[in-house]
Chain A
Amino acid sequence: MSSLIIPKKSRRIIPGFHLSLGYTMLYVSLLVLLPLSMIFIHTMSLSWSAFIDIITDPRAVASYKVSFSTALIAGLLNVFFGTTIAWVLVRYQFPFKRIIDGLVDLPFALPTAVAGIALTSLYAPNGWIGQFFDFKIAFTPLGIIIALTFIGLPFVVRTVQPVLQNISAEVEEASASLGANRLQTFRKVILPELVPAILTGFSLAFARALGEYGSVVFIAGNMPMKTEITPLIIMTKLEQYDYAGATAIAVVMLVTSFILLFTINLIQWLANRRFVH
């Protein structure tokens, strides 16, 4: 974002600097920073050992494992299928392509609760898809993975697609005319260009999956120690008016998200540097 350099003198010419900056800072402070700071202020009221006890409670730890592993698997599935979909949409021609391209964004537009009940009824043991399997899909970690894959798909497709579009044909032509076969060109020329976008898409999908609630609660079955995700632990503690407990778990989630956000920015910064130098 900071790559665009605006000359210093411009500050004098365009009006509204103090108004727009002041308004932005006030709005963000009141509606984002003040509310979020409550999490950390509220946690201060806990002693260190009480805090550690809450966040290392076996049920909480089990929920971290469930959330982390399902989000990771869903992210990896999305890397494979999302990149394939982006590739097919950019490179090949087939009927109804424009409609299919538009449908990729459905998980962004469809309310998560709607996605949740639709996927649950499809994959329930008597559902359209669930009935063909001998083992349970909904109400197991498998169901959580399905919901998280649905939620994360557009992140990977929409970050890989524009990069794929911008790879100039000349580099591929050069590679081919130097004797590389198609697989070599893909591995040595195209894939390295795609890796930062794939990583960014994966991190975005993964971060979203870690915090996701609406689509997961219906399909997860919510069994403690087995299919209970971390956001649900917060929800349960809130329903029992255990605000301190809910807040402590929220700290763990927030710190994880901030680390992820930092990683995403780092990937993008490294990728930009590679192209600029």
Chain B
Amino acid sequence: MEQSTFIQQASTGKRKAATQTAALQEPRIIRYTLIFIALAFLAFSIVLPLVSIFITAFQKGSDVYFAAITHPDALAAIKLTLIVVAITVPLNAIFGVMAAWALTKFNFKGKNLLLTMVDLPFAVSPVIAGLVFILLFGSQGLFGEWLFAHDIKIVFALPGIVLATIFVTLPFVARELIPLMQTQGISEEEASISLGASGFKTFWYVTLPNIKWGLFYGLILCNARAIGEFGAVSVVSGHIRGMTNTMPLHIEILYNEYQFAAAFAVASLMSVMAIFTLIVKDIIAWKSKSS
């Protein structure tokens, strides 16, 4: 839901000329008051927290900072987070393309129902997203005894973390591609097929170039959420240090142990990733506007 607006955002500023006329402009005092309210609110609610993360992280000097981010537990958390992302994001990207293809290129009964189901994870609390996998694979869960008998660990281990992350980030790529592919229609693919190209060739040479920026944008958002997911992962991880702690969980542990500088040091790494996400997002919006 939140992503589908970016194409329109790309056209910010187009109205500039249209609204300059005096009769269509608010009095100067109102203009400045509104700008002041907006900027003051953003300064307090967005900029200040962001700045405070970096300042707190370096409060006890760069030695403490680097000790915190090179601590074996921190490195294990970073590694685990990267593994989870490397599994989750490609799977949800393939799903997103498949779902968008099925939902935009064809008409069938129950299409809206399927669309709602793809959206469903957005409406579910992250804590519940974790809970459902405990109910499936936990010791008292549906498959609990069978898994125990076969010595397979899902909950409180990597598979559980991956499953919970997949659940939470499932709609991101699909949600980005569906509106985009809907506006593009099917005439180009029809032309390609009728000229004798195979289905895969048509997708690769006709569809993919048209949707590449939307796909990339969906990937970026999916990636950001997969890195930062806290609630769902917290339920299924079991918080085993150096083993099943992702970066956000590691931050929580440090914070609860009053190691504030260390917690904020790891948090600053994640903030850099968030800022990087925003920059890439802006570049994609700009690229998709100009192409």
Residues of A within 8 A of B106 (CB): 6, 10-11, 14, 17, 21
A243 touches B47 (CB 8 A): no
User: What is the bound-complex CA distance between A115 and B121, given in angstroms?
Assistant: 22
- A-B interface contact total, Cβ < 8 Å: 339
User: A110 and B274: CB pair below 8 A?
Assistant: yes
The digit string for B208-227, where 1 denotes a CB below 8 A from any CB of A, is: 00000000000001001001
Minimal Cβ-Cβ distance residue in B for A261:
B123
Q: Does A275 contact B (CB under 8 A)?
A: no
Segment at the interface with B among A49-57, A58-66, A133-141, A164-172? A164-172
Q: Are A150 and B5 in contact (CB under 8 A)?
A: no
* A235: Cβ under 8 A from any B Cβ: yes
Residues of A within 8 A of B18 (CB): 169
B67 part of interface (Cβ distance < 8 Å)? no
Q: What are the interface flags for B99-118 relative to A under an 8 Å C-beta threshold, 1 for contact and 0 otherwise?
A: 10111111110011011111
Q: Does A94 contact B (CB under 8 A)?
A: yes
Q: What residues of A have a CB within 8 angstroms of the CB of B99 in the complex?
A: 20, 24, 27-28
Q: Which residue on A lies nearest to B81, using beta carbons?
A: A111
Q: Is the CB of A161 within 8 A of B5?
A: yes
Q: Which one of B46, B47, B271, B278 contacts A114 once the chains associate, using CB atoms below 8 Å?
A: B271
Name B136's contact: one of A35, A84, A258 (CB within 8 Å).
A35
Can you name the residue of chain B whose Cβ is closest to the Cβ of A182?
A: B26
CB distance from B138 to the nearest CB of A (A): 7
Report how many residues on chain A are interfacial, defined by Cβ distance under 8 Å: 109
Given A1-B115, A81-B37 in contact, is the A117-B127 Cβ separation under 8 Å?
no
Q: What would 17 A/B residue contacts be, using CB atoms closer than 8 Å?
A: A4-B104, A15-B199, A35-B163, A42-B135, A87-B38, A100-B39, A100-B42, A109-B275, A111-B248, A113-B248, A114-B228, A114-B271, A165-B8, A231-B231, A235-B234, A243-B138, A250-B125
- Given contacts A39-B128, A103-B278, A169-B19, 19 further A-B pairs with CB under 8 A are A1-B103, A14-B193, A27-B98, A31-B166, A32-B120, A32-B170, A41-B142, A87-B34, A103-B42, A106-B50, A106-B274, A111-B227, A112-B230, A118-B56, A173-B21, A177-B23, A207-B123, A243-B134, A247-B135
Which B residues form the contact surface with A (CB < 8 A)? 1-2, 5, 8-9, 11-16, 18-19, 21, 23-27, 31, 34-35, 37-39, 41-42, 44-50, 52-53, 56, 95, 98-99, 101-108, 111-112, 114-121, 123-129, 131-136, 138, 140-142, 163, 166-167, 170, 178-179, 182, 185-186, 189-190, 193-194, 198-199, 202-203, 221, 224, 227-231, 234-235, 247-249, 251-252, 255, 260, 263-264, 267, 270-271, 273-275, 277-279, 281-282
What are the 7 tightest A-B residue pairs by CB atom distance, in nearest-first order?
A: A111-B228, A211-B125, A15-B199, A214-B230, A162-B8, A213-B231, A35-B132
